[in-house]
Structure 1
Amino acid sequence: MRAKDAVGRYGENVAASYLTRCGWQVVDRNWRGPAGELDIVALQGTELVVVEVKTRSGDGFGHPAEAVTPAKMARLRRLTGQWLDAHDLHPTSVRIDVIAVRTSRRGAATVEHLAGVC
């Protein structure tokens, strides 16, 4: 596994743990559809939330959430529709969130949750 992939996998694990601690139900991880991959699909009550996780180990490339471009948001919307078509789940509403994870050489990673980005 490449170092970049390992950092991303670590960030997804941190994000999934964070959501579970917040009382959310993680229903799918790393789901692959024709347009790409959804990192985390979760339920917050009866609302379906697709979570894009961006992890950075430094500030050289800016804030992690800056990597979620308009093109990426459009892809996430398409993938969310594909996920819903493939699953027998009927949420009351759907939204897309971003969780930005910053790793630390010492101590725990920091998590920033941006709700309803698109």
Structure 2
Amino acid sequence: MAAKDILGKRGEDLAAGYLTEHGYRLVARNWRCPQGEIDVIAELGGETVFVEVKTRTSTAYGHPFEAITLSKLARLRRLAAAWCRQSDAAAGRIRIDAIAVLAPRGQTPTIEHLQGVY
């Protein structure tokens, strides 16, 4: 596994733990279909939340949120719709969130959560 993939998995693990600690129920991780992948699908208060996680070791190349472009958000919306069509769960209210994980080597990671980014 490449260092980038290891960092990404660590960030997704941290984000999943963060969500759980904040009362979310994890529904799926790394859900895939032919159009792409959703990092985390969670539920809170009857709302299905589709979460894009971006992880960096520093902001030298920009903040992790900067990697979430409008085209990425549009793809996430299409993926969320595909999940709703394929899922047995009836998704009533949905939203798309973003989580940024800054995980500098040898330091405690920080997590930022933006709700309803799209």
| TM-score range normalised by the length of the shorter chain | over 0.9
Give how far 1:106 is off: 3.1
- CA distance in 2 between counterparts of 1:84 and 1:91 reads 6
Q: Tell me the residue number matched to 2:61.
A: 61
Matched, 1:76 2:76: yes
Gaps of 5+ in 2: none
Show CA shifts across 1:29-49 (max 9, x none): 001112100000000110000
- CA distance in 2 between counterparts of 1:62 and 1:107 reads 19
Q: Is the 8 A contact 2:47 2:94 kept in 1?
A: yes
Q: Aligned partner of 1:114: which letter?
A: L
Q: Aligned partner of 1:41: which letter?
A: I
Q: Tell me the residue number matched to 2:99.
A: 99
Say which SS state the counterpart of residue 8 (structure 1) adopts.
helix
Give the superposed CA RMSD: 0.9
TM-score by length of 2: 0.96
Show CA shifts across 1:66-92 (max 9, x none): 101011001000000111111111233
Q: Tell me the residue number matched to 1:26.
A: 26
- CA distance in 2 between counterparts of 1:2 and 1:16 reads 21
Gaps of 5+ in 1: none
TM-score by length of 1: 0.96
Alignment size in residue pairs: 118
Say which SS state the counterpart of residue 40 (structure 2) adopts.
strand
Say which SS state the counterpart of residue 80 (structure 1) adopts.
helix
